[in-house]
């Protein structure tokens, strides 16, 4: 069976690191080469995960159930159980960060949108920390979250960023709600949804309104040696990092700079900057708590049943416009903000 997983670190960054010849970054180069090898054939079949039953119901049932395992530096899942629901702090940063991050993500979907866990049916949330040696990624494998500790030269531990945890866990929500193909524009929308709800989880935990939030994904996982804030920015795609080793953030903010490529499943981690920026523009136009306004619009668009597996940007834009109109009324301030945001990034709706 062909196994696929999608990590938070995009292939173009790993490829650049894997080619390094600098002996001072030899650990990072080896770690990147290993992570690249696993991008295609490891862990769990994403295409099989996409066959999971779609659940669009919103009734809250069950309770939060978390289980954190420790792989102990091995690449074997799940590892040893080290913290279950209700257990006290362990003192291990990665374990406790993963536990808290899963809870924060669950609470956004449950308390704000009425969804029982990521699958709408109370699915327990499982994670494995300390996966592999110097492992340069974090990923959702179709059933559980998996976190590496980083190489120590470019990347630190991946649980240090709440947006990494919530981004990857949102792939589970997408898996159970839309079945978006992980290719081209539908794949970029898949990545964008994870970025969108990833930052909303953080904003809700911090009590930030749209104007005060950083809108960064992956802040805190770079070591101090890297010239960069994070992996991606919804506020200003293309500005998250500009580093001698990593290069410059390649994300476009509008369709005028759409990247036509065959790598990274058609640029799913790159062109996601366009729908990301549309969400940001709508959120700041409306102001206030983004998870309550435009976040709910995006959520309802995802669950509308109108998104085909090969959904492109205009189709998704229409779904958000429809969701805004249905919730707030056609011609409402909210509906106009959503339509204007898509127009500004060059996506016809």
Who contacts 23 (Cβ-Cβ below 8 Å, separation ≥6)? none
- How far is CA 178 from each of CA 204, 246, 277, 303, 344, rounded to the nearest angstrom? 24, 33, 21, 7, 26
Of the residues 269, 277, 300, 334, only one is catalytic, namely: 269
Q: Write the DSSP string, 166-226.
A: HHHHHHHHHHTTT---SSHHHHHHHHHHHHHHHHHHHHHHHT--TTT---EESTT-B-TTS
Active site residue 191: no
CA angle 101, 102, 106 (to 5 degrees): 115
Rounded Cα gap, residues 188 and 264, in angstroms:
10
Of the residues 38, 97, 153, 168, only one is catalytic, namely: 168
Active site residue 168: yes
Q: Give yes or no for a contact between 120 and 113, defined as CB atoms under 8 angstroms apart.
A: no
Who contacts 240 (Cβ-Cβ below 8 Å, separation ≥6)? 216, 217, 218, 228, 229, 230, 231, 232, 233, 249, 251
As annotated, the active-site residues are 168, 269
């Amino acid at each position: 069976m062909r196994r696929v997983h999608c990590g938070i670190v995009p292939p173009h960054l790993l490829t650049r690191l894997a080619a390094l010849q600098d002996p001072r970054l030899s650990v990072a180069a080896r770690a990147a080469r290993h992570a690249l090898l696993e991008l295609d054939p490891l862990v769990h079949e994403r295409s099989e995960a996409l066959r999971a039953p779609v659940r669009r119901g919103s009734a809250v049932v069950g309770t939060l159930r978390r289980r954190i395992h420790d792989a102990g530096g091995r690449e074997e899942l799940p590892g040893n159980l080290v913290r279950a629901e209700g257990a006290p702090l362990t003192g291990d940063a990665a374990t406790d960060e993963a536990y808290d991050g899963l809870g924060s993500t669950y609470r956004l979907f449950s308390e704000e949108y009425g969804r029982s866990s990521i699958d709408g049916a109370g699915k327990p949330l499982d994670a494995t920390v300390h996966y592999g040696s110097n492992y340069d990624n974090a990923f959702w494998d179709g059933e559980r979250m998996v976190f590496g500790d980083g190489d120590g030269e470019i990347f630190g531990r991946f649980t240090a960023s709440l947006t990494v945890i919530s981004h990857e866990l949102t792939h589970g929500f997408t898996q159970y709600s839309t079945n978006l193909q992980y290719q081209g524009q539908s794949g970029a929308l898949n990545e964008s949804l994870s970025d969108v709800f990833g930052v909303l989880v953080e904003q809700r935990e911090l009590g930030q309104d749209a104007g005060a939030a950083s809108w960064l994904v992956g802040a805190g996982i770079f070591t101090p040696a890297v010239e960069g804030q994070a992996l991606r920015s919804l506020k200003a795609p293309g500005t998250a990092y500009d580093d001698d080793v990593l290069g410059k953030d390649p994300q476009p903010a509008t369709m005028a700079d759409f990247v036509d490529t065959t790598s990274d499943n058609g640029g799913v981690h790159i062109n996601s900057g366009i729908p990301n920026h549309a969400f940001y523009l709508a959120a700041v136009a409306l102001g206030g708590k983004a998870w309550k306004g435009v976040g709910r619009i995006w959520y309802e668009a995802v669950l509308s049943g109108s998104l085909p597996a090969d959904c492109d940007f205009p189709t998704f834009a229409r779904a958000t416009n429809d969701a805004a109109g249905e919730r707030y009324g056609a011609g409402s301030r909210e509906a106009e903000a959503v339509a204007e945001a898509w127009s500004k990034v060059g996506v016809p709706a």
